[in-house]
């Protein structure tokens, strides 16, 4: 199924008239369809007073349909494409933004969180397929070496296991996650807050070109659109809703990445946080989220992330354990016999039994077992700790 040209044109025009996420516009589209919604708005009706005023201001200088036609023509010249909800490759998961309601929200960017009307995409992968098994990795732009290392490892490990790595293309954690996925030869998606033809930050131009060749650049804004500050916050809701979970690697006390994680939890996706040094300013926001947000889960690597986003009963992270030592397999009596042996001299069998408080036959049996394990040696004057066991003994 594909959208007609009238529908495509209307969706582009509506996206230009009102910033993505505007609930009044989305409700109108659901009620009457994109073409009729555009007609109503351009005629001065169909929305609340602030929305009508915004539409009037936008359309006073330019014709919305002409702007949309130019945008579609520019999209074709770029080798990009417009994707609408009528298309087969539309990522259906973003519809969950219908139910996103943020507690205590009073800013426009926190209230206007409706699903997208359309996407621009640059790259060979269909959107639905790219987002099907995807995890977002987000965090601070001013990342520390620790955060960069962790994000790179996560990006590589997820991509190596055939998961799509999604982020925002910014410096720091975003770039590290994208590059990790590319190094693994995997799929990565950058969701932008500007046109897919406007690399921002410009220092990541080469990275965006690599992503466009093998993955996807995605945006709700038409080609040429500027990366205005509020657009990054608007964009974050898409990263949160289109993926199966969001991992926050580093975040200062005030960070847009924290907002992404809260949106992920708000649409009932796993929200995961990588802890950092308590002395690092770049981990303050991450640690506060772990303290304040009941839905946030602490993760330390790919195994933990996959346990959160994978299928129930699969992708379970192994419990963290220290390497097993021969001592770990000893029963209580054998441990007691081993403990009474001094570090620098031997003890006769009778002395070992007396010190350990076990029968003579038991002491003989346990000493033989300890000898086989290489923990004890037999000497002419009795039994002693093996050199390696003496070095690792906790006793002084």
pLDDT at position 29: 96
Tokens coding 205: 């131009």
pLDDT at 395: 47
pLDDT at 396: 34
Q: What per-residue confidence (pLDDT) applies to 52? A: 86
Per-residue confidence (pLDDT) for residue 60, from 0 to 100: 87
pTM confidence score: 0.83
Burial (Cβ within 10 Å: 0-12, 13-18, ≥19) of residue 303:
middle
Low-confidence ranges of the chain (pLDDT < 50): 312-314, 317, 320, 395-396
Beta strands in the chain (DSSP E): 81-83, 119-122, 134-138, 164-167, 188-192, 216-219, 246-248, 271-273, 296-298, 376-379, 382-385
- With CA atoms as reference, report the closest residue to 15 among 80, 82, 76: 82
d(CA 147, CA 141): 10
Q: Quick one: tokens of 128?
A: 């639905």
Q: How far apart are CA 188 and CA 171, in angstroms?
A: 15
b/e sequence 143-180, b meaning 16+ C-beta within 10 Å: bbebbbebbbbbbbbbbebebbbbbbbbebbbbbbbbb
Q: Which domains are delineated in the chain?
A: 1-72 (no CATH), 79-309 (3.40.50.450), 326-392 (1.10.10.10)
DSSP state of 98: G
Per-residue tokens: 35: 């073409």
The answer to whether 240 touches 249, Cβ cutoff 8 Å, is no
Residue 125 gets the label, from left (phi > 0), alpha (psi -120 to 50) or beta, of beta
Q: In angstroms, rounded to a whole number, what is the distance separating the alpha carbons of residues 189 and 260?
A: 16
**Residues 257, 286: Cα–Cα separation, whole Å:** 9
């Amino acid at each position: 199924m594909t959208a007609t040209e009238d529908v495509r044109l209307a969706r582009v025009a509506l996206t230009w008239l009102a910033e993505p996420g505007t609930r009044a516009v989305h409700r109108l589209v659901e009620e009457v369809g994109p073409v009729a919604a555009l007609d109503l708005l351009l005629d001065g009706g169909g929305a609340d007073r602030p929305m009508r005023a915004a539409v009037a201001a936008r359309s006073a200088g330019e014709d919305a349909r002409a702007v949309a036609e130019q945008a579609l023509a520019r999209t074709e010249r770029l080798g990009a494409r417009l994707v609408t909800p009528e298309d087969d490759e539309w990522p259906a998961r973003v519809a969950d933004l219908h139910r996103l309601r943020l507690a205590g929200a009073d800013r426009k960017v926190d209230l206007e969180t409706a699903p997208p009307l359309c996407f621009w995409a640059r790259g060979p992968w269909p959107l639905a397929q790219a987002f099907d098994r995807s995890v977002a990795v987000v965090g601070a732009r001013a990342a520390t070496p620790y955060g960069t290392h962790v994000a790179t490892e996560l990006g590589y490990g997820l991509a190596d296991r055939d998961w799509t790595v999604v982020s925002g293309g910014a410096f720091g954690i975003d770039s590290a996650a994208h590059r990790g996925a590319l190094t693994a030869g995997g799929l990565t998606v950058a969701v932008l807050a500007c046109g897919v033809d406007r690399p921002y930050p410009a220092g990541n131009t080469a990275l965006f070109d690599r992503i466009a060749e093998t993955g996807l650049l995605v945006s709700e804004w038409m080609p040429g659109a500027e990366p205005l500050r509020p657009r990054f916050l608007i964009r974050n809701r898409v990263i949160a809703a289109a993926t199966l979970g969001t991992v926050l690697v580093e975040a200062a006390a005030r960070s847009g990445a924290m907002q992404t994680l809260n949106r992920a939890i708000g649409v009932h996706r796993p929200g995961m946080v990588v802890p950092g040094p308590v002395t690092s300013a770049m981990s303050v926001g991450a640690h506060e989220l772990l303290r304040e947000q009941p839905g946030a889960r602490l993760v330390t690597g790919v195994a933990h992330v996959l346990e959160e986003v994978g299928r129930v009963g699969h992708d379970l992270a192994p419990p963290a354990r220290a390497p097993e030592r021969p001592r770990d397999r000893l029963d209580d009596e054998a441990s007691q016999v081993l403990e009474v042996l001094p570090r620098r001299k031997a003890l006769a069998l009778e002395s070992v039994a007396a010190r350990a408080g076990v029968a003579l036959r038991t002491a003989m049996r346990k000493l033989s077992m300890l000898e086989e394990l290489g923990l004890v040696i037999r000497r002419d004057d009795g039994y002693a700790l093996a050199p390696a066991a003496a070095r690792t003994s906790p006793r002084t």
